[in-house]
């Protein structure tokens, strides 16, 4: 565990110049943002499925649910009813 902290510091300090380089590259690129509205239609079910998939695979939301929800669950009650 002690060596992992050492490697984490190396990765963290290597990431700083990389992020600075990306920022400089972005400023030098210039250009204008041309965002056009979407014209294709998507069903409500398809949009709901996409939103659920994005949320379910987001590590921040997974961490939240794993850390926050168990505090309020009764281990002797039905799990699915509590989650609903």
- pTM of the full structure: 0.38
**Percent above pLDDT 90 for the chain:** 25
Residues 6+ apart with CB under 8 A from 61: 55
Average pLDDT score over residue span 29-52 = 86
Burial class (CB in 10 A: 0-12, 13-18, 19+), 70: exposed
- Asked whether residue 45 carries a pLDDT value surpassing 70, the answer given is yes
């Amino acid at each position: 565990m002690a060596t992992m902290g050492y490697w984490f510091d190396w990765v963290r300090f290597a990431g700083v110049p990389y992020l600075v380089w990306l920022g400089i590259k972005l400023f030098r690129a210039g250009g204008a943002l041309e965002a056009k509205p979407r014209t294709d239609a998507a069903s409500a079910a398809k949009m709901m499925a996409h939103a659920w998939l994005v949320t379910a695979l987001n590590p921040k939301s997974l961490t939240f649910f794993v850390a926050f929800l168990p505090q309020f669950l009764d281990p002797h009650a039905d799990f699915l009813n509590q989650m609903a």
